[in-house]
């Protein structure tokens, strides 16, 4: 009986640890998402008309690469 009790305690501890890790991972993913959306909004709100086509293209490329990297990272974290 003590063996089963020990096993149950171990399983509870592992469950609690995993629950905390999932919570922290989701918070990290949420923070990354918010940062990314802030950059997206900033990109859209800046007066793109004052920039040359090359500057706009470079800004869009940089944002696109960051978004792809963040999406890939979030997908990996969420499994």
Q: What is the pLDDT of residue 47?
A: 57
Q: What's the Rg (C-alpha) of the chain?
A: 22
Kindly report the length of the chain. 79
Q: Does the pTM of the predicted model rise above 0.75?
A: no
Q: What is the pLDDT of residue 67?
A: 82
Q: Give the orientation angle of helix 2-45 with respect to helix 53-78, to 10 degrees.
A: 170
Domain ranges of the chain: 2-78
Q: What is the pLDDT of residue 15?
A: 87
Q: What share of the chain is helix, strand, coil (3-state, %, to 5)?
A: 90, 0, 10
Q: What is the pLDDT of residue 46?
A: 66
Mean local confidence (pLDDT), 63-76: 82
Residue 46 carries which DSSP code? S
pLDDT, tens digit, 9 for 90 and up, residues 15-63: 888 888 878 888 888 888 888 888 888 777 765 566 677 777 787 888 8
């Amino acid at each position: 009986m003590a063996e089963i009790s020990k096993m149950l305690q171990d399983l509870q501890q592992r469950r609690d640890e995993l629950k905390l890790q999932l919570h922290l991972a989701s918070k990290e993913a949420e923070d990354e998402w918010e940062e990314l959306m802030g950059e997206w909004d900033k990109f859209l709100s800046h007066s793109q008309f004052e920039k040359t086509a090359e500057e706009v293209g470079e800004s869009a490329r940089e944002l696109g690469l960051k978004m792809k990297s963040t999406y890939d990272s979030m997908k990996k974290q969420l499994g």
